[in-house]
Amino acid sequence: MKYFTRFFALFFVILLVEVATSQPWTNLLPQEKADKKELSFYDYQKAFYEYWEPFHVDKGYYLNRDGEKTKAPGWKQFKRWEHYWETRVDKQTGEFPTTSTREIYQTAKASLSPNRSLSGDWSALGPDITGGGYAGLGRINCIAFHPTNDNMIYVGAASGGIWKTSNGGTSWTPLGDDNAALGVSDILVIMNGSSETIYLATGDKDHSDTYSIGVLKSIDGGATWQTTGLNWTANQQRLIYKMLMDPVNQNILYAATSNGFYKTVNAGTTWTQLINSSYVDVEFDPSNNSILYSSDTDGKVYKSINSGQNWTIVNSVAGGKRTELAVTSDNPAIVYALVSNAGSGLKGIYKSTDFGNSFTLTFNSFNLMGWDCDGSDSGGQAWYDLCIAADPNDENTLFAGGVNTWKSIDGGFTWNISTHWSSSCSGNATTVHADKHTLVYRHNTSVLFEGNDGGIYKTDDSGSSWDHIGNTLEISQMYRISCAQTNNTDVMTGLQDNGSKMLASNGWTDVYGGDGMECIIDFTDDNTQYASLYFGSVFRTINKWNSSYYITGGVSGNAAWVTPYTLDPNDHLTLYIGFQDVWESTNQGANWTQISSWGGNTLQSLAVAPSNSNFIYAATYETIYGTTNGGGSWSDITGSLPVGTASITYIWVKNDDPSTLWVTMSGFNALGVFQSTDGGSTWSDISTGLPEIPINSIIQNKQNTTETELYAATDVGVYLKVGSANWVPFFDGLPNVVVNELDIFYDDSNPQNSLLRAGTFGRGLWESDLYSGSPAGPVADFEGSPMTGTEPLEVTFADLSVGTIDTWDWDFGDGEQSSNQNPLHTYTSYGVYTVSLTVSGSNGNDTETKTDYIEVTALPPVADFEANPTTGNAPLLVSFTSLSTGIIDSWVWDLGNGSGASGENIFYTYETPGYYTITLTVTGPGGSDVMTKTDYIEVFPTSPPVVDFSATPTFGEAPLQVTFTNLTTGEVDQYDWSFGDGGASQNENPIHEYVAVGNYTVALTATGPGGTVTETKVDYILIPVGIDNETTGAYIVYPNPVTNTLQIQFPNKQKRVLILTNVTGNQLFETTSEDIESHLDMSKYKSGIYWLTIREKDEVVARVKVIRK
């Protein structure tokens, strides 16, 4: 089933890039426009019909060279797509719409009244039961499982939303009927305490019945839904093909999309586009969560070994198209690739046995993607239905799905059919609905589930038998409906892909296969009914389908996809049908007469006046014709209808006036419904109140004789117009789904029991009582998006109020107001805000207040700091300064040694040497942030002091006063001086007096945290040594200690001998002096002690110890 919900969808991108590249006719598309993604609807039409023109296709078939009737691959799917979009694109340019219906739905969905029928009271009627096999309910795109409860299964429908069963498929419940898109492409489920967290990939991956609005998330098992950071609008025309969750870290998710490959590491809060390539499938290596495989629509397989950051092509099949992958935990080295060809048939099965590094062709002997039991036909629909799965407990067992399902038990080298769409294949297959979209094993079991166009199936015996487990799913996509008028239960419906079905008092019955189109129940006899296939193939039964007859063999010309036909409301035996002309049968279709002669475009709508059967109206999308004489003559009554910008989609004639009629118009514009009261001579626009979206059909409640009561089926539900009032929403309880057609069962004896029925495109048949009551005063309602976020938070407020409204008064709760209907407001400060809206109109006013509705969180703080110093000897005093930004309430320091502190700026002393890692955690209303600096503080061991000193003077005669200067560096607690003469001091820089002659050794001891160190200077202070001689006086020798020149002074001039010896008595030098002084060069001698002997007249008169420094 292949169309979309009311939430706006565009199909052309999938044709342009992801899917249509598998169809040969797309090679005729203008390449330059295709590269720029600027293709229009008319570009697709032109390419399609040019390609198929030589084949002379008739209703999806052509004659091959052997004269055999052959199905034209993709013909039916294109015509189905064309039927949907032809009335929704720009009529002039063929451009696809850029308008989203999401806001329209949100604005209109508020309830008008809890009482009967001011806004509808809708309930679902199904179909929700089928015996399976050839028949079905609707398309299933994806299947997911509860992590621990095997009976809890989730499925996603093409345009019917997400559903859940808690009993293994016995019954199903919809989740998220009001989600902005009811198309679902993939589902992930994880445990969340006693509930489940569900991730939902929106959109329809295989046919774009809906486009994606991104990934939605529920943390309460599907009761409520929120957007994630992967958040799009439908007019961006994007799809999500596959999601994966990291098996080790559930906060890490991947999404393969038409806009690239995305990853989140924070459970969906933010997403990063890793690459912009479009992959249609992605799988994990079962043994390594860093390795992923992906595939595209061009026959390529890719591999990443770094969690999706980079990709390498590991297999490329020339001529290959859409490719699907399978892996198995039984042997993680194996990767299977199912590759389709340009005709959407099988290109080949490829297999890797080395973790995807290389691939080998294992099978291409016959076509697994076609329709035949033996695979002998060509082509298929692989652009639309393609899937493969490998048994997690047996590497050699795998299933491949296309139109049918095939099985291999030898690793893909041979294949046998497992299910067939319409046959048992001589006992070799189970009959299961056609077109496979997903094959998935439950967890690590060998229980296999299949999603196809008909629903969900299960096999627990490896394909020997298949069971349909989709009853109670209400996901049918309906084109047309018809209510019986002889009882209140019977309804006929025409379903895409799932035939024509009848609802009766005993439930639903499948009455005809294929794609069900227009259908009718005879208003005089519910046993007589009509069903049809596409292109005008109509069948009649007179016994509620115990038997039936093909009745349009006598009608010639081309017919529309959904061919219009109707009973004469005054003669149930007379039937009218529109091909390129109008045809009439007066005997229920046994014979036909052509009653018009236009021979132009195919007719799309047809109506006969209930009050006068001579008034008949018929229309193509662009032209409406009318006759007042039963078809004797016709007039073009298009007149002022805006057919240049909108398409005519439906006609309804007033029950008591054959000249009053209404037509609906389709397009994303304000041209919704037009009325003529003079048989089409003039037209007036009565669209006020309708949303600017396609209007699909219209009906009048003939039981309201006081004022005209009209209902319109739209892409966002049902609207009501009573008398001269504007259109108002009439869809309380109706899901967010396209409504294609309406019909009314009339209870003429008790009109309050009359019922309005709606055929939806994705959620089946619905029913409501009819409107009753007078318009009340306005009812205020609104919603804002987003409702939470960080400052500054920009919130879009949508007015959901209903009724006649002239003014809107908003109070945003932060002192600001607005009078706009749908304002945009920015909250600049964090806090919780109560928002109120007061609406006023001619019938009164109403106020809606939502307490604590908007929650604005502060931006999270950013932690940072510095320290001074960051290195030094213990004990080291460090000043820590916070450099953090943002709103901060607390600062918590971890100082790296088990100690902590709080406060913005702190001091701390490190006593022990080492490296210290510092962490600062800052917390504010916006959250917390942490900054860690590893080995940031380095404390060295405490060094001992370096002791040194000097003295002035160091030589002189006694008494000699000496000033000592302390040159010690380092940390010192105490000084101890020893002056060599018994004197001592603890002053830092003492003064000491020497009173006796001598050479004095001085020592300084410094004591500190690093220890005690002593510096000793030997014979540092010299009090000159002299010898008294009574007759000759004293001899003076200086300096002593000496470095260079030793001075010797004598008391008089006299001949003297000077002898220098070392301590061992060896003579080193001898000289004679007759002067009053003499000089002795000591620089050439080593440091040490020497003796100077002075002799006069062979007599030793003095002996002096000399110290050489």
Closest CA to 503 of 522, 489, 513: 489
Mean pLDDT computed over 269-278: 93
pLDDT at res. 84: 82
- Say yes or no to pLDDT of 116 above 70: no
Q: Kindly calculate the radius of gyration of the chain based on its CA atoms and give it in whole angstroms.
A: 49
What b/e readout covers 1066-1083, taking b as 16+ CB neighbours within 10 angstroms?
eeeeeeebeeeebebebe
Domain boundaries, the chain: 139-468, 478-769, 782-857, 865-940, 949-1021, 1027-1108
Q: How much of the chain exceeds pLDDT 90, in percent? A: 73
- Say yes or no to pLDDT of 103 above 60: no
d(CA 737, CA 742): 14
Q: What is the pLDDT of residues 742-761, one digit of tens each?
A: 999 999 988 889 999 999 99
Strand bridging mode 260-264 / 960-966:
unpaired
Q: What is the pLDDT of residues 15-59, one digit of tens each?
A: 333 333 346 788 899 988 877 778 888 998 999 999 999 998 988
Strand bridging mode 448-452 / 436-441:
antiparallel
**Identity at 156, one-letter amino acid code:** G
Question: DSSP secondary structure string, 372-433?
Answer: STTS-S----TTTS-EEEE-TT-TT-EEEESSSEEEESSSSSS-EEEEESS--TTTTSEE--
Of 87 and 445, the structure prediction assigns the larger pLDDT to: 445
Give the 3-state secondary structure of residue 81. helix
Give the 3-state secondary structure of residue 735. coil
Domain formed by 865-940, architecture: Sandwich (2.60)
Secondary structure, 3-state, 1048-1101: EECCCCCCEEEEEEECCCCEEEEEEECCCEEEEECCCCCCEEEEEEEEECCEEE
Q: Where are the extended beta strands (E) located within 162-297?
A: 162-165, 173-175, 184-192, 195-202, 214-218, 226-231, 240-245, 253-257, 260-264, 272-275, 281-285, 288-295
Q: Which two tokens stand for residue 321?
A: 């198209």
Classify the phi-psi angles of 689: left when phi > 0, otherwise alpha if psi is within -120 to 50, otherwise beta. Answer: left
Give the 3-state secondary structure of residue 1015. strand
Q: What is the pLDDT of residues 982-1021, one digit of tens each?
A: 999 999 999 999 988 778 999 999 998 888 999 999 888 8
Give the 3-state secondary structure of residue 1000. strand
Closest CA to 908 of 880, 936, 872: 880
pLDDT at res. 118: 53
Give the 3-state secondary structure of residue 834. strand
Of 1052 and 652, the structure prediction assigns the larger pLDDT to: 652
Q: Which band of pLDDT confidence, cut at 50, 70 and 90, is reported for residue 101?
A: low
Cα–Cα distances (Å) from 885 to 323, 432, 930, 1072, 1098, in that order, read 50, 63, 12, 89, 96
Q: Which fold has domain 478-769?
A: Methylamine Dehydrogenase; Chain H (2.130.10)
- Contacts of residue 207, defined as CB under 8 A and 6 or more positions apart, other chains included, come to 2, 3, 11, 14, 19, 77, 81, 158, 384
- Say yes or no to pLDDT of 1076 above 70: yes
Strand bridging mode 927-940 / 871-873:
parallel
d(CA 287, CA 331): 9
Window from 200-209, 773-782, 936-945 with minimum mean pLDDT: 773-782
Phi, psi dihedrals of residue 593, rounded to the nearest 5°: -130, 130
Q: What is the pLDDT of residues 353-366, one digit of tens each?
A: 999 999 999 999 99
Mean pLDDT computed over 306-310: 95
Mean pLDDT computed over 403-429: 97
- Say yes or no to pLDDT of 1088 above 90: no
Phi, psi dihedrals of residue 568, rounded to the nearest 5°: -65, 120
Specify the residue for token string 């009482």. Answer: 115
- Say yes or no to pLDDT of 815 above 90: yes
Q: Which two tokens stand for residue 905?
A: 């700026």
Closest CA to 100 of 716, 673, 800: 716
pLDDT at res. 14: 36
Mean pLDDT computed over 165-175: 96
Q: What is the pLDDT of residues 450-493, one digit of tens each?
A: 999 999 999 999 999 999 999 999 999 999 999 999 999 999 99
CB 1021 within 8 A of CB 954: yes
- Say yes or no to pLDDT of 1033 above 80: no
Domains 139-468 and 478-769 share a fold: yes
Window from 190-199, 399-408, 537-546 with minimum mean pLDDT: 190-199
pLDDT at res. 8: 32
- For residue 324, the surrounding DSSP H or E stretch is strand 323-327
pLDDT at res. 498: 93
- Contacts of residue 808, defined as CB under 8 A and 6 or more positions apart, other chains included, come to 799, 801, 818, 819, 820, 821, 837, 838, 839
Mean pLDDT computed over 595-603: 93
- Say yes or no to pLDDT of 1 above 80: no
d(CA 419, CA 349): 19
Query: How many Cβ atoms from other residues are within 10 Å of residue 608's Cβ?
Result: 23
- Say yes or no to pLDDT of 100 above 90: no
Closest CA to 839 of 816, 822, 815: 822
Specify the residue for token string 């999500």. Answer: 240
Closest CA to 840 of 800, 808, 793, 798: 808
Q: What is the pLDDT of residues 928-960, one digit of tens each?
A: 899 999 999 999 988 889 999 999 998 777 889
Q: CA geometry: angle at 166 spanning 453 and 502, to 5°?
A: 40
Query: How many Cβ atoms from other residues are within 10 Å of residue 104's Cβ?
Result: 23
How many helices (H) and strands (E) the chain has is answered by 5, 89
**What does CATH list as the number for 1027-1108?**
2.60.40.3080
**Identity at 900, one-letter amino acid code:** G
Question: DSSP secondary structure string, 743-795?
Answer: EEE--SSSGGG-EEEEEEBSS-EEEEEPP-S---S-B--EEEE-SEEESSEEE
Q: Which two tokens stand for residue 684?
A: 């007036």
- Say yes or no to pLDDT of 614 above 70: yes
Q: Is the peptide bond before 786 cis (omega within 30 degrees of 0)?
A: yes
pLDDT at res. 1034: 66
Select 782-857's CATH number: 3.20.20.120, 2.60.40.10, 3.40.50.300, 2.40.30.160: 2.60.40.10
CATH homologous superfamily of 949-1021 equals Immunoglobulins (2.60.40.10)
- Say yes or no to pLDDT of 381 above 50: yes
**How far is residue 638 CA from its own chain's centroid?**
47
Q: What is the pLDDT of residues 705-725, one digit of tens each?
A: 999 999 999 998 999 999 999
Tell me the pLDDT of the chain averaged across its residues.
91
How far apart are the two ends of the chain, measured CA to CA in Å? 111
pLDDT at res. 399: 98
Burial (0-12, 13-18, 19+ Cβ within 10 Å), 905: exposed
Tell me yes or no: is domain 139-468 CATH 2.130.10.10: yes
Mean pLDDT computed over 842-858: 90
- Say yes or no to pLDDT of 609 above 50: yes
Q: CA geometry: angle at 307 spanning 304 and 308, to 5°?
A: 55
Mean pLDDT computed over 650-668: 96
Window from 145-154, 334-343, 955-964 with minimum mean pLDDT: 955-964
pLDDT at res. 1102: 85
In sequence order, what are the beta bridge partners of 845? Answer: 840
Closest CA to 493 of 261, 697, 742, 318: 742
